[in-house]
Each structure stands twice: as structure tokens, then as C-alpha cells.
Amino acid sequence: MNNPQDIRKTISTEFRRFEEAYSLALQSEDRLLSQVLDYIHSKRGKQLRPMLVLLSAALCRGVTDKTIQTAVALELMHTASLVHDDVVDDSPMRRGSEAIHTIWTNKIAILVGDYLLTIVMHLLAELRNVTILNIVSDMGAALTAGELLQLHSGESMWISEEQYNKVIEQKTACLFAACSEAGAASTGATQRQMTAMKQFGLHLGMCFQLKDDVLDFSDIEDIGKPTMNDIRDGKATLPLLISLQRAPKDEAEHIREIAEAVANKSEHIDPFAAEQEIKSFVLRYDGIRYAHQEMEKHRKKAIAALAIFPDNKYKESLISLLNCAINRMK
């Protein structure tokens, strides 16, 4: 199984139930809200997170009605975070199309994101499952803390690798961890099973963000967002951080000045030439290779977390999902 579509076949019936429930959750009688929600629905991504919820549940004790509702709630929460994140970062594109705030306004985007979060609260209340509620609540708090930490860390290209890992664990990996743990919890899984699934999701999420960092230095045009976007936003990514640490001090300071000039949209530099110089610098000091090495470490830890489960098609599909996150080209 080399792509999400193939993996989805393992849970085809369950995924159709998810899609129906997700579509229903994105309906509104309000004309403007309905237009925005329809746009969101039409631009949905690979939907790896609901697949993770469903496969985690299937591996434990089987998908239930609570699993479907949990998958919808987590996908809506993810969508809300993207809508808000695009406003914070002033990102014009999302998944290869215009972001919500670009088509409408920042105010509308924020309010739509808030609306999605209220739907999440309603779905979680209906579940009457304190375990899942705590998992999602803790994840929401970590997600916000990660965004704030990234904004603060973005003021410096010199954050440590430890700080970087903390940012991406809270900003990205925690959502994957919540998906796999909540999926298990929706079936009444044991604490041991839930902990294993949480660890699998966490390391899958770390791989996913590291791959995003690598793709930001890609020459591939069709990755769903502009390349070198993190540099323009002044965000620290592992390939650049490691390269800065490895380079001689004078060269590192020069690249830092260029990166800050790009982030500040300085009129005194050629943005394209500056970005190409940064990209060459990262390649020269093997920043991309280091990120791939870190991905491999997390991949092995993710697979090790599944060791307590018997070998079956659901376990195989979860490992395929992990490999897809690493090998994807966008």
C-alpha cells in the first residue's frame, strides 16, 4: 500500500460512514457560513487523521459509532486549527488553493474556525466519554501552546534542537497522538493499548512534521503550498537549525542575516536569490540528510510501539500510513 487511497480500502466501509458524518457536520442554514463550510469540504486534504482514528480502533477492538464521531470531531478540530493558523501566519494558500481568509476576511476566517470548535464540543459532549474528552482537551491545550511557542521561537533562528522538537511535538505530533489514542479509547481499549497507540501517533506526527520541513526546501512545485514558506515566516526548521550549528560562525551569521531579511521582506535583497542561497547552504551542511535520519529514528519507534498487537491487516495499514507520511511528495 503506497498511498492513502490504498490504505483506506482496509477500512472502506468505516471511512464511508466517517465521510457521511463529516459532511453532515459541515452543514449550516446560514448562507455565508454554508458557503465557507462548502468550500472547506471541497478542499479537504488526505484525511490521514481520521484514517488514523479508524485504523487505531480497528486494531484494538473494532470501530464503533463512538469511533466515527471521534474521527469527525478530531478532523473538525484539525480543520479549525488550520483556518486559524493561516490567519496567524498570513498564509495565502492552503492545500493548493486560496486560504479562507484570502477569499473572505480574517474576521470571517476566525469566526468560522470558532464555529468548527463549537461543533467539536457538541460532538464530544454527545459521546459521554470522559477519557476521549480529556485526550482531546489536552491535545487542544498543547496545540495552542505549540503555536505560541513557535511564534516566540520564530524570533530567533538560534533555538536549540530540543526547543524545536518541543515545538513540533506540541504543534503537530500531539494531534496525531490524540487521533490514535482516542481511536483506541473509543473501543474501550486497555490502558496498555491506548498508551501504545498514543506513542505510535506521536512518532508518526514527528515524522510528518519533519517531512514538511524537508519539503519546504523542495524544488517540487505541486506540494500544496509555496516552498521556502517557513523561511519567509521566520520559522525555525530542523534542516536550517542543524546547518546553522554545523557551519562556521561567520557563515552561519551571514545566513541568519539573509533569513531574517527574507522574513522581514527587506527591499535590499533579491528574495529569490536569497532563498536559493539558504537552500544551497542547507544542502551543503547536510541539513536535509539529518532530518531524514531523525525521521527514520521516529519511524522505528512508531513501529516498535505496535509490537504489543498481533500482525493483521490493520497493523499493516498503520505501518503503511507511517511510510506514506515519510515518503509523500506533498
Q: How confident is the model at residue 137 (pLDDT cuts 50, 70, 90)?
A: very high
The whole-number pLDDT of residue 195 equals 98
The whole-number pLDDT of residue 220 equals 58
Can you tell me whether residue 15 is helix, strand or coil? helix
Can you tell me whether residue 153 is helix, strand or coil? helix
The yes-or-no verdict on residue 236 having pLDDT over 90 is: no
- Specify the range with the lowest mean pLDDT, choosing from 31-40, 176-185, 231-240: 231-240
Q: How confident is the model at residue 3 (pLDDT cuts 50, 70, 90)?
A: confident
**Three-state secondary structure of 202-244:** HHHHHHHHHHHHHHCCCCCCCCCCCCCHHHHCCCCCHHHHHHH
Distance CA 24, CA 148 (A): 32
Q: For the residues of 80-133, what is the DSSP string, one character each?
A: HHHHHHHHHHT--EETTEE-HHHHS-HHHHHHHHHHHHHHHHHHHHHHT-HHHH
The whole-number pLDDT of residue 221 equals 54
For the CA atoms of the chain, what is the radius of gyration? Answer: 20
Q: How confident is the model at residue 155 (pLDDT cuts 50, 70, 90)?
A: low
For the record, the C-alpha cell of 86 comes out as 493561516
The yes-or-no verdict on residue 156 having pLDDT over 70 is: no
Can you tell me whether residue 98 is helix, strand or coil? strand
Cell numbers 535583497 correspond to what residue? Answer: 269
Mean pLDDT of 15-20: 98
Q: How confident is the model at residue 157 (pLDDT cuts 50, 70, 90)?
A: low
Mean pLDDT of 253-260: 92
Mean pLDDT of 195-205: 98
Mean pLDDT of all residues belonging to the chain: 92
The yes-or-no verdict on residue 62 having pLDDT over 60 is: yes
Mean pLDDT of 249-270: 91
The answer to whether residues 181 and 201 touch, using CB atoms and an 8 Å cutoff, is: yes
Fold for the domain defined by 12-320:
Farnesyl Diphosphate Synthase (1.10.600)
The yes-or-no verdict on residue 181 having pLDDT over 70 is: yes
For the record, the C-alpha cell of 253 comes out as 551569521
- Specify the range with the lowest mean pLDDT, choosing from 30-44, 63-77, 85-99: 85-99
The yes-or-no verdict on residue 263 having pLDDT over 90 is: no
C-alpha closest to that of 197 among 34, 58, 14: 58
Distance CA 183, CA 268 (A): 51
Q: List CB contacts of 170: < 8 A, sequence separation 6 or more.
A: 142, 143, 145, 146, 149
Distance CA 113, CA 53 (A): 22
Q: How confident is the model at residue 231 (pLDDT cuts 50, 70, 90)?
A: confident
The whole-number pLDDT of residue 96 equals 80
The whole-number pLDDT of residue 5 equals 85
Domain residue ranges of the chain, discontinuous segments joined by +: 12-320
The answer to whether residues 207 and 299 touch, using CB atoms and an 8 Å cutoff, is: yes
The whole-number pLDDT of residue 329 equals 77
Across the strands, what pairs with 93?
98
Distance CA 289, CA 239 (A): 8
| More reliable by pLDDT, 160 or 109 | 109
In this predicted model, what pLDDT tens digit does every residue of 265-299 receive, in sequence order? Answer: 888 889 889 999 999 999 999 999 999 999 999 99
H or E element at residue 86: helix 65-89
